[in-house]
Structure 1
Amino acid sequence: MTERKCILTGDRADPDHLIRLAIGPEDQLLPDLRAKAPGRGAWIGVSRAELEVALAKGKLRGAIARAFKTGELAIPDDLAEQIETGLRRALLDRLGLESRASMLLTGSEKIDVACRKGQVRLLLHAMDAAPDGNRKLDQALRVGQEAEGTDLAGIVLPVDRNALSMAMGRDNVVHIAVTDSRAASRLRAAIGRLESYLGCAAEAPVHGEPRSTDAPGVQANV
């Protein structure tokens, strides 16, 4: 797909970094996170905080009216929450799929060994994981990637251990190691979308590359 344009900022980017809005069956505006709903859509690439400001000031309604050529659409008051819930669910669903495909490891001891052997492509921590446990596994990751002395580290997810455990059908999932590069890429995409929307995006560095704090670009309308 070509780039799309954010109806709120005018910035352009890959549609994978944007949120598509579509018209529901009762003429209500709904998030179309898979970008598969039929008919015309509009794209936004702003954080939740920015979207809530646009909703409160009527900026989103004006942009939607221009995008869809109508002012009759109903915009739900909880649109921002619907988007966050959907992005969070998409991440948890992806973790569940990768887990069932045996692409993930859990348990600190197993992850530590895999990290030190250089087998881990992506390291994830629950948001309520103990900092000391994170530090130990981050250090094991740097050892395995021959990246000691760098800031290479796992991603602290905006999801707690209870949600991770339910998504993966396992008990007490606190840390996750991804051992397949393609699975790691898919999970980075899902994590990036949620973190960008929450305004806390941070791309996990690979093989000792420096950590980036830039959020994915905002984008467009179709």
Structure 2
Amino acid sequence: MTEAESAQSADPGLRKPEAADSRRSAKETLRRCIVSGERHPPAELLRFVVGPDGTLVPDLACKLPGRGLWLSPRRDMIDKARTRNLFARAAKSAVHVPEDLGVLVERLLGVRCLELISLAKRAGQLVAGHDKVKSWLAAGKAGLLIQAADAAEDGRGKLRALGRAVTPGLPVLELFDAEQLGRTLGRPASVHIAVAPGGFADRIAAEAAKLAGVRHGELEAPGGTVPNGRRPGK
């Protein structure tokens, strides 16, 4: 063993420098909520930027240029940031914040969720209809169960129970009505949808959790049921 190898064996800090780099990298990617001061991964927060005209713009896809202003996805956080002028403080400049910012964010999150469901359909990553969804749930092929909020609780409850009996912790989304889900899939109505495990299921569940937080004030834990709710923006 060389002297350098011996030193690495004796000193954990020298033995695995890549681990320290990884920890630093993970820490650096956290973003701070401008209201609570808590730090979270960007994927768990809402991002806003200030446009060229000084107007605050929600950047839900985290792609717009400019310094990001981050918020926990809850309606009370949005309201506090607006009424306490925290966006301007964080941006260190005058910022025009829309009075209906909470409603706007809720509507945009709803649209984003439905667009992801549509993309999952086009990618062949979901099935719709009671029997097809039941078959996927029974076979453990679902990574996310989506059900219309205005459907009968008896039917929703049976599929929910089946899915979680086979796949413990299966996320369940019940935020949209049958007409909204149907329109997203190109049909008059849709009550039951199952999404295959993987990227689409994870992204839809993550965005739905944000929507639930903005709409109801509480984020749903992974594997939780995102509760019933009204149409986005209504």
Quickly name the TM-score band, shorter chain normalised: 0.7 to 0.9
Letter of the 1:173 partner, please give it: S
Aligned residue for 2:4? none
Cα distance between partner residues in 2 of 1:134 and 1:188: 18
Paired residues in the alignment total 198
Q: Deviation of residue 197 (structure 1)?
A: 2.4
Aligned residue for 2:99? 77
Aligned residue for 1:167? 184
Letter of the 1:34 partner, please give it: A
Q: Deviation of residue 121 (structure 1)?
A: 2.1
Which has the higher Rg, Structure 1 or Structure 2? 2
Cα distance between partner residues in 2 of 1:186 and 1:135: 24
Contact 1:125 1:154 in 2 (8 A): no
- Inter-CA distance 171–11: structure 2 relative to 1 (3 Å threshold): same
The structure where helix makes up a greater share of residues is 2
Name which structure has the greater RCO, CA cutoff 8 Å, separation 6+. Answer: 1
Question: What's the RMSD between the two structures over aligned residues?
Answer: 2.2
| Cα deviation 1:143-201 (Å, max 9, x = unaligned) | 544x6xxxx56624221111111122123111111123333222222212212222243
Letter of the 1:176 partner, please give it: I
Q: Secondary structure at the match of 1:10?
A: coil
- Structure 2: any 5+ residue segments left out of the alignment? 1-27, 227-234
- Structure 1: any 5+ residue segments left out of the alignment? 206-210, 214-222
Cα distance between partner residues in 2 of 1:37 and 1:158: 27
Name the TM-score, length of structure 2 as normaliser.
0.76
Contact 1:138 1:154 in 2 (8 A): no
Identity of aligned residues (%): 33
Is 1:28 the counterpart of 2:77 in the alignment? no
- Inter-CA distance 6–86: structure 2 relative to 1 (3 Å threshold): same
Residue pairs, 1:1-222, within 5 angstroms: 2-55=29-82, 58-59=83-84, 61=85, 63-70=86-93, 72-145=94-167, 155-198=172-215, 199-205=217-223, 211=224
